[in-house]
Amino acid sequence: MVIQGYPSPGDGLRLHLNENTGGCSARVLEAIRQVRPSDVSTYPQYREAVIATARHFGVNPDWILLTNGLDEGILMAAVGHIARARVYDAETIIPIPAFDPYPNSTAAVGATGIRVPPGPDFAFPTQAVLDAITPRTRMIFLNTPNNPTGQLISIADLVRISEAAPGALVLIDEAYIEFGGTTFLPQLPRFSNVLVGRTFSKAYGLAGMRVGVVIGQPQALDPVRAVTLPFNINGVALTAMHAALGDAEFLPRYAAQVRESRERLYAACRRLGLQYWPSAANYVMVRVGETAPFIEALAARKIHVRDRSKDPTTPGCIRITAGMIDHTEAAIEGLEAVVALQRGPGSTARQPQ
């Protein structure tokens, strides 16, 4: 039987999908409890949510499109700018390693994905991306911080690429920007070919609600709006998003936990001799060698991480969510126990208590 979505890993600590390990704001839960029967039985209205979102991001409401998770925004951007425009020889540029919806959306609209490999230590390949731009380029996917490496793309490089491809849509995916780095949003007034994608799934803890947002000038946004279904986000999710925006203390508090968790993961990897990459996101990519037995051993300790070894650019790597500090400490104990088990007697790795 084929079931949609990712299979459940079972009980334990979910560190495999970059979710907020501390949950959502208490204000979100309180707002959901106040939902009335009529709010559920009628189609949702988006005006107040759009205005609140625009205020939060400091842009005109006409520059806002709410989507069913950022995944929908990515797909609809490809549909609106390639399929609807009937561009039959279209190419997209996908720096790798990449978030799955980039190649999936490319394939969905019949375009050809031009994959650009990373530089040493996963440095962003700016010049290679520029060299890949041709008259057939219709979309460029830029993920900062990158999933799964956590590497940032500098604002200067984002500007260079956006300037070099005036005939293409440049989609800048900032799903994890709340955890580190500088947003491209202040640059948007300069570029009518750029869309910025954000999500409420990660930092705000609303992954189960599926709310994303695509931001850009009408010239870039209108083709996406034209193919997005009118009632794509449910009313309860809109209520949750509005409440999340109203809690100004929640995000900074959680982001601080993530930063400390990353540092503790780095220290553990150094202590254990595991290669890792400093990250600006809420996860850390670690090279452990043969991933399957490592992941199985962690899962036996009810710690679930993401296998990234199937991607040829990240062989032998796993990705570990960095969330609440106590969750990270539990993950570190698991890492130490598994490394000690693999290395055998004499290992100095600490055993779980």
pTM: 0.94
pLDDT value for 275:
97
Q: Which domains does the chain have, with CATH numbers?
A: 13-20+250-343 (3.90.1150.10), 26-245 (3.40.640.10)
The residue whose two tokens read 């996406």 is 224
Task: Using alpha carbons only, give the angle 157, 159, 220 rounded to the nearest 5 degrees.
Answer: 130
pLDDT value for 104:
97
**Taking residues 56-74, what's their average pLDDT?**
97
Are the C-beta atoms of residues 314 and 121 closer than 8 Å to each other? no
pLDDT value for 344:
76
120-135 pLDDT, tens digit per residue, is 999 999 999 999 999 9
172-187 pLDDT, tens digit per residue, is 999 999 999 999 999 9
232-249 pLDDT, tens digit per residue, is 999 999 999 999 999 999
Q: Which of 78-87, 233-242, 261-270, 305-314 has the lowest mean pLDDT?
A: 78-87
pLDDT at 209 over 90: yes
Q: Quick one: pLDDT band at residue 137, thresholds 50, 70, 90?
A: very high
Q: Quick one: pLDDT band at residue 266, thresholds 50, 70, 90?
A: very high
How many angstroms separate the CA atoms of 196 and 328, rounded? 30
pLDDT at 349 over 70: no
pLDDT value for 350:
46
